Each structure stands twice: as C-alpha cells, then as structure tokens.
C-alpha cells in the first residue's frame, strides 16, 4: 500500500465524524478525482482484509465505521506495511549521505546497495 493510501486509511479510522471529500482533497493536496481513486484503493485493501468499506454519507462526507476489534486489526496491518516499506530515492540518498558523514568505517556503495530495498516506480 502506498504511503498516501495508508495515511488516508489512518485518517478515516481516527475520524469520529464523516469527512467531506473537499476537506480530504485539501488535506492531502489532491484533486477530487485522485482522492476518489485513493478511497477506491483503501476499499480494495479493506475488502481483501474482509473489513467494512469506506462509504459516502450524502451531504456529509466519507465514513469508515469499524468496531474496536476491527480498528485494532487495521492498526496492526498498517504497522506491518510500514515494516516492509521500501526507501524512496530521496530517502536512499539521505541514508547514503548520513552513512558517509557519520560512519567511522569506509562506506562502499555496492555493499550499501545490497542492504537497501528499492522502489522502482513511484
């Protein structure tokens, strides 16, 4: 799951009241169409996990209704996704710069490269 999709899911889990599409679009700085696509991705993920889906309440916004046990399940799933997350290009560069700057030992890129998970497409 993309970081943005995970943040959206987290936002919807924490929300006590429906969140308007406009508010979500502004918060994530996305167009309404892109936000709808993100919500569809969240729903696909929730469906795979056999959890309730995000639904629209006419005139109010988007709502994800989960009980306590389901919320805990989502938190565990989100945490597991973070552990398998790969580094983006900027993060790899920062990691390399910090390793060079702070290491007492020599840093070899080809060795460092073996230890980094790459994300080929953003």
pLDDT of residue 83: 54
Fold of domain 3-83: Arc Repressor Mutant, subunit A (1.10.10)
**Gyration radius of the chain over CA positions:** 18
Q: pTM of the predicted model, to two decimals?
A: 0.64
pLDDT along the chain (122 residues), means of 10: 87 90 91 94 94 92 92 85 64 82 80 61 42
Q: Is 57 helix (H, G, I), strand (E, B) or coil?
A: strand
Would you list the domain boundaries of the chain?
3-83, 86-122
Please list the residues that pair with 56 across neighbouring strands.
62
Write the CB contacts of 63 (distance below 8 Å, at least 6 apart in sequence): 12, 15, 17, 18, 19, 54, 55, 56, 57
pLDDT of residue 119: 47
CA distance linking residue 102 with residue 40, whole number of Å:
43
């Amino acid at each position: 799951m993309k970081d943005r999709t995970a943040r959206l899911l987290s936002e919807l889990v924490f929300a006590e009241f429906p969140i308007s599409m406009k508010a979500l679009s502004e918060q994530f700085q996305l167009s309404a169409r892109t936000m709808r696509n993100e919500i569809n991705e969240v729903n696909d993920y929730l469906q795979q996990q056999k959890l309730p889906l995000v639904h629209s309440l006419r005139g109010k916004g988007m709502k994800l209704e989960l009980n306590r046990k389901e919320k805990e399940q989502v938190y565990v799933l989100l945490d597991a996704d973070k552990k398998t997350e790969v580094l983006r290009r900027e993060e790899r560069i920062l990691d390399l710069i910090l390793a060079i700057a702070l290491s007492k030992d020599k840093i070899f890129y080809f060795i460092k490269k073996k230890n980094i998970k790459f994300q080929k497409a953003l």
